[in-house]
Chains A and B, each alone.
Chain A
Amino acid sequence: MSPTTLLFILLALSTCGYYAGRRRAFAVGGGSAGIKNLHSRPIYYGSLTALWCGIPALLLFGFWLAFESTLITHLVVVDLPETMRDLPAAELNLKVNKIQNLVSGNIIAGAVEPQIQVAADHYRNLKTTSNAALAVVAISMAILGLVIVRAKITPTLRARNRVEQVIKYILIVCSTIAIFTTVGIVLSVLFESIRFFQKVPVAEFLFGLKWSPQTAIRADQVGSSGAFGAVPVFTGTLLISAIAMCVAVPTGLMSAIYLSEYANKKFRAVAKPLIEILAGIPTVVYGFFAALTIAPFIRDTGGLLGLGVSSESALAAGLVMGIMIIPFVSSLSDDFINAVPQALRDGSYSLGATQSETIKQVILPAALPGIVGGILLAVSRAIGETMIVVMAAGLAANLTLNPLETVTTVTVQIVTLLVGDQEFDSAKTLAAFALGLLLFVVTLLLNVIALHVVRKYREQYE
């Protein structure tokens, strides 16, 4: 029985449970006139039956499916002939892939070795057995739940309270998913990073000046054994982010000031959504725009001025990233400027200050903590931005601060190291996770600081 069919059967059983429970409630209450004898309304008895029928079986179903393939693969590998099991991990992985491809009926290259064919049949058998077992266990669990709860229904059963309790637990579980996600992120990047740092010392990664992750695959191959000094990658990220902030902060801040202090209602109603559109455009579009329009333009302009500009210059990527961040800076600053109490403005005007003097000397200092928090958030976004730099910045890890040269960033390196098929435990792929860990930690720090600053500031005037 395929998992999808089983899922539908379980859902159908659960629905049956609902009606069975409701019917039973009517019966024990003594028909529709006897509802008042029941503790709860009949739908709660139905729901209780449905929940007990569905939830345990569905949980089992989920866990079974999640661990089924790992377990079966393990069993199949254990049963492989000695010679094959002793292969290095990478080759063993290839064999396992081949087996799985055979099982799912994909076309595989080359002739099929007899052992592999045997293993594939074994795999298929195990899978059939496992599916059948799952179906039997899950369906009997569902029916068991249904029967037990139905038998327990009496007029005094506090069905509503029980249903509400179950739903409350479900709500709690849903709200903890955010925590599980964070834990999942931390664990997944941390484990791989630890494996990476076993191969490459932490100090070399953090302070090394050379980044060239290409490792030789075979011992006799020319080429370096790989250098994993991440300093050039950091500088590249910081350079591009700095360019982006140079564009975004003045533009965003000035437009926020104009919109909140000078513009009339009509202008604001038109201009604000238009600026926000910039935030809604997917980053891949910005990347294409940077690579197709901005980068050649900068290169040609540089050529006219007699400057040698790389066609994947940091300037192009930073400029476009800055455009993307403008609405972020402007809407946050707008909020904070609006939060400054009118009394401060009035006080300044009454001393004879012009509007711009009020803004520069009263409003901006008052809103500064909030604006700084907003800018920190924007920086964290710039550091984590991927598609623009993947498409418009380069791969060469140059240690330079010249915006006209090619630099690379943390996100670009993660993408280039992980896209495509590689063996999973080479230093090259693990390096991507180390970079990911670093990215996560840096953005997390920036966010925590920024959120703290912003919250403190908000409290100030409330």
Chain B
Amino acid sequence: MNNSQNQLSIRPKKKERTLDIVNRGLSKRYRAEQRFRLYGLLAIVASMAFLSLLFISIIGNGYTAFQQTFLELRVFFDPEIMDEQSLASADYQGLVKKSLRGMFPDAKGRPDKRLLYGIVSSGASFQLRDMVLTRPDIIGQTLKVWVPADDDVDMLIKGHFDRQLGEGERRLKDKQLAWIDQLSAEGKIKKKFNTTFFTTGDSREPELAGIWGAVAGSFFTLVVTLLLSFPIGVAAAVYLEEFAPKNRWTDLIEVNINNLAAVPSIVFGLLGLAVFLNFFGLPRSAPIVGGLVLALMTLPVIIIASRSALTAVPPSIREAALGVGASKMQMVAHHVLPLALPGMLTGAIIGMARALGETAPLLMIGMVAFIVDIPAGFTDPSTALPVQIYLWADSPERAFVERTSAAIMMLLAFLITMNAAAVILRKRFEKRW
């Protein structure tokens, strides 16, 4: 603009109309318009790109964890080492070792044998024990048994292993590689669906680690959270929306609720640690404490959602109920609440989804622990699914990377299901007035 004005003052030959000035700048302005629009589009594309990168990276790393490499062993269930009394404590490890030695007679000397035993998971002996305990009649027979391979073998078969490295830097040595190649040439090594991952608790061995313990812990935690936060949240919303007088006290409550919704989750963890664990002496690592903390955390979410569900019910319904002689409590209980319930449930499900993904407060109250047993109640020590992800993400083994990603996929699957349920609920039951 300045430029054109300067030119005007230098050459005042022909009188210029405003329209000409506007027209001259027009193409530049259109270009700016195009650029601006492009920036907007780019911003959205960038967000989408991040999102897809995240999903690709997680799924790409994790989908292999749903399969596990198994080796075929020919095991002779030697009656000599198994007598009737001590079936559970017989030397099953020895059976596995013997069978391995039988398959690869070239392994001589202790170091070689140790390498050989290393290709089979330590879970193999438990598998044999369970077989014998369920069917004692197999004692004395020779059976072909598929046992889980060690996690390094698993990584090799899945292609996450660099054979080009020097032998000293590899987790599998040359001899082991040769044995494994021989096994795969004989078809005695193959990948099967990884049921262990879905049925067991945590383990130090990646091939034996599963998410079931964490899922159970998360389940118990969420039950406590739901049982506490939904009734209390709905009650608070009903009071604030339907009964509360407008005064300082209710203002204070509202400000509090809004602020609590934005308090960092880790601060709730500090509250749990100081109040529930140290003051009330509740057990550490227990789902009940986790549930309490998460309930306090989701309470504002549920209250806010329930209040908006209540305000969506038109006043005419309230007036009609009052008009035919219902008390205020009857009006709420018989008419307003049933109509607002779908919206409240939607809010509760969304709150639960947030609670399911929450990790930080659970770290504070000791739910970050190595727990093998699957929790069976509200006071058993347990972890939760996101905490399990955090724990595995810290483990150095390559095989835990894929298990972490797989656990994340399970967590996301749960979250997607819950959110989808919320959307369906809203679509089916929400009334537009």
Contacts and interface: CB of A to CB of B under 8 A. Distances in A.
B393 A411 contact: no
Interface stretch (A137-145, A204-212, A412-420): A412-420
B235 interface: yes
A411 B264 contact: yes
A369 interface: no
A178 B253 contact: yes
Interface of A is mostly: helix
A288 interface: yes
Interface stretch (A50-58, A115-123, A149-157, A185-193): A185-193
Contacts of B360: 283, 386-387, 390, 411, 415
Contact of A288 (B44, B363, B364, B404): B404
A391 B51 contact: no
A414 B270 contact: yes
Contact of B258 (A283, A352, A386, A451): A451
Interface string A238-282: 000000000000111111011101100000000100110110111
A386 to B, nearest CB: 4
Given A181-B260, A277-B51, A292 B299 contact: no
Contacts of B270: 185, 188-189, 414, 418, 432-433, 436
Interface in A321-357: 323, 326-327, 330, 352, 354-357
Interface string A163-199: 0100110111011111101101100110110000000
Contact of A282 (B43, B386, B419): B386
B44 A259 contact: yes
A143 B310 CA distance: 38
A361 B43 CA distance: 20
Interface residues of A, number: 93
Contacts of B296: 177, 181
Contacts of B39: 254
B96 interface: no
Interface string B4-43: 0000000000000000001000000110110011011111
B394 to A, nearest CB: 8
A162 to B, nearest CB: 11
B363 A415 contact: yes
Interface in B358-392: 358-360, 363-364, 368, 386-387, 389-390
Nearest to B36: A356
Given A288-B404, A386-B266, A387-B360, A176 B253 contact: yes
A287 B239 contact: no
B278 interface: yes
Interface in A364-393: 377, 380-381, 383-387, 390-391
A262 B266 CA distance: 39
B243 A168 contact: yes
Nearest to A260: B40
Contacts of A330: 47
B408 interface: yes
29 contacts: A164-B329, A168-B329, A175-B253, A178-B256, A181-B256, A181-B299, A185-B268, A188-B273, A191-B274, A251-B43, A262-B37, A274-B47, A275-B48, A280-B357, A285-B408, A355-B37, A359-B36, A381-B262, A386-B359, A386-B363, A387-B386, A387-B390, A390-B390, A411-B264, A418-B273, A418-B363, A432-B270, A439-B264, A448-B259
A95 to B, nearest CB: 15
B172 interface: no
Contacts of B415: 280-282
A291 interface: yes
B244 A175 contact: yes
Contacts of A418: 270, 273, 363-364
Given A175-B253, A250-B43, A411-B360, A188 B271 contact: yes
Interface of B is mostly: helix
Nearest to A436: B270
B61 interface: yes
Contacts of B405: 288
Contacts of B54: 281, 285-286, 289, 323
Nearest to A288: B393
B259 to A, nearest CB: 5
A182 B37 contact: no
Contacts of B393: 284, 287-288, 291-292, 391
Nearest to B40: A258
Interface in B229-268: 231-233, 235-236, 238-240, 243-244, 252-253, 256-260, 262-268
Nearest to A440: B267
Given A192-B274, A447-B262, A356 B386 contact: no
Interface in A73-97: 73
Contacts of B386: 282, 284, 387
A305 to B, nearest CB: 21
A439 B412 contact: no
Chain B CB within 10 Å, residue with most, of A174, A252, A384, A390? A174
B253 A284 contact: no
A293 interface: yes
A313 interface: no
A328 to B, nearest CB: 11
Contact of B266 (A181, A184, A355, A439): A439
A66 B51 contact: no
Given A384-B266, A432-B270, 19 more contacts: A69-B280, A70-B279, A164-B329, A177-B232, A181-B271, A185-B271, A188-B270, A254-B43, A254-B44, A278-B51, A280-B353, A280-B357, A281-B415, A284-B393, A356-B33, A384-B263, A386-B359, A440-B263, A440-B267
